A and B are shown apart, each in its own frame.
Chain A
């Protein structure tokens, strides 16, 4: 196995900007995950629910954060990952995903992550990963 990363409080991976998110991006994730709620692909259904257009499923944005995290520390070093859904992501949004190590224990580290669309925090997350 690959070695666990050497992490220190304050460490960050290079942040990522995704988007503008397209309806195609949302549908591609719907196909992967199996979420066929019409809010995520049918503009008429999204408008009937009071949204200007289709919204991404929370798991899409959670996946963007998980990708940042596992690319940085290695999938085999994840111990825990928790996401909280704060605000919807709309087609056209540009998402910025960031992560930071907040604390290091003997053999693991705690991280705080966030996905933002402009000034809006759309998903926050925490993670625990193995660390040397």
Chain B
């Protein structure tokens, strides 16, 4: 099974929430108070608490993990995530609502040292409620061949 580039994987709404921002800040040891202190955020020029750099990961709460793996024809027990990247265009703040549209960028078969593998690259574009793209996240999934 090979997926055609551009194919939609899923689309979810990701609200940017102050409590969720605080959870990310605490779980990753962020010290900059702009993410948790409204006064510090406003003094730094933000219109609200800015989302943390990897806040977009929280889209996982809104997605159906099993369904997307099945849709791609992959086996979850053989998948590892090789790399993830983020391209930042603007900083979402608490109160924004992002629409996260995930598509297949590429789908390739390669032969590595440990045998054949399938490499699927997905990209998710996060667009805010004003229609501005806030960020693009890419993830590279590596599936080992069935043994």
Contacts and interface: CB of A to CB of B under 8 A. Distances in A.
Is chain B's binding surface mostly helix, strand, loop or mixed? Answer: mixed
Given A25-B27, A67-B29, A80 B85 contact: yes
A64 B34 CA distance: 17
Contacts of A60: 27-28
Interface string A82-93: 111100000000
A123 to B, nearest CB: 10
A75 interface: yes
Nearest to B43: A2
A59 B50 contact: no
B87 A32 contact: no
A79 B26 contact: no
Contact of B81 (A2, A16, A58): A58
Interface in B100-135: none
B58 interface: yes
A80 B44 contact: no
B57 to A, nearest CB: 4
A83 B81 CA distance: 10
A53 to B, nearest CB: 18
Interface in B73-108: 80-88, 91
Chain A interface size, under 10 / 10 to 19 / 20 to 34 / 35 or more: 20 to 34
Nearest to A64: B28
A34 B44 contact: no
B31 interface: yes
B60 A75 contact: no
Nearest to B45: A1
A29 B53 contact: no
A58 B82 CA distance: 9
Nearest to B25: A67
Given A75-B53, A83-B85, A2 B27 contact: no
Interface of A: 1-2, 16, 18, 25, 28-29, 31-35, 58-60, 62-64, 66-67, 69-71, 74-76, 78-85
Given A60-B27, A71-B32, 11 more contacts: A32-B20, A32-B23, A33-B58, A33-B61, A62-B54, A64-B29, A66-B28, A74-B32, A76-B46, A80-B88, A85-B81
Interface of B: 20, 23-32, 34-35, 44-46, 50-54, 57-62, 80-88, 91
| Nearest 7 Cβ contacts at the A-B interface | A63-B28, A34-B61, A34-B60, A82-B85, A66-B53, A1-B45, A32-B23
17 contacts: A1-B44, A29-B27, A33-B57, A34-B58, A34-B60, A34-B62, A60-B27, A62-B84, A64-B28, A66-B52, A67-B29, A67-B52, A75-B32, A76-B44, A76-B50, A81-B53, A83-B84
